[in-house]
Amino acid sequence: ILSKSYIQSVDDLTPMDALKVGLAQCAALIPGTSRSGATIIGGMLFGLPRAVATEFSFFLAIPVIGGATAYELLKLWKNPVSLSGEFTWAIVVGFISAFISAFICVRWLIHYVAGHNFTPFAWYRIVFGVLVLVSASTGLVAWSH
């Protein structure tokens, strides 16, 4: 792991740093892989401090979420029958509540990772993965499409 001590904030990233972290995002194409996890770990592997890698990862989510939103809105536009008044209000309220909760969670996570490592998150993923595999292999839960 390379340390880039000159990087103290997202503003210090070079275009090459951004490209490397963006390419790390491709790991999220593997089913079950977290997009933010791939970009945060990728950024850290390329020498970014934990807090900077985390913050940049959330900035990288903006075009992904924007594209998905535009796609869904285009589908709704093509089928205007589903755009009733109640449905429109549900979208507005959902958007606002999702934005507020995401803002609060992202702020908390960025402050958390500045002083802590990812060990609790790694253990959570391992334990949950084992539970999913055990429940699927024993037939306890039917994990199907």
8 A C-beta contact, residue 7 and residue 49? yes
Neighbours of 1 (CB within 10 A): 7
From 125, 105, 126, select the one nearest 54 (Cα to Cα).
Answer: 105
**In the prediction, which pLDDT does 84 show?**
67
Instruction: Give the span between the Cα atoms of 12 and 79, in whole angstroms.
Output: 45
**In the prediction, which pLDDT does 98 show?**
92
**In the prediction, which pLDDT does 37 show?**
87
Cβ-Cβ contacts under 8 Å for 143 (sequence gap 6 or more) = 132, 135, 136
**In the prediction, which pLDDT does 1 show?**
53
Spell out the per-residue pLDDT of the chain, length 145, in tens.
566 667 888 889 999 999 999 999 999 888 878 888 899 999 999 999 888 998 899 888 888 888 988 998 888 778 766 666 777 788 889 889 999 998 899 889 888 887 888 888 888 888 998 998 899 889 888 877 5
8 A C-beta contact, residue 56 and residue 14? no
**In the prediction, which pLDDT does 71 show?**
92
Instruction: Give the span between the Cα atoms of 91 and 94, in whole angstroms.
Output: 5
Cβ-Cβ contacts under 8 Å for 89 (sequence gap 6 or more) = none
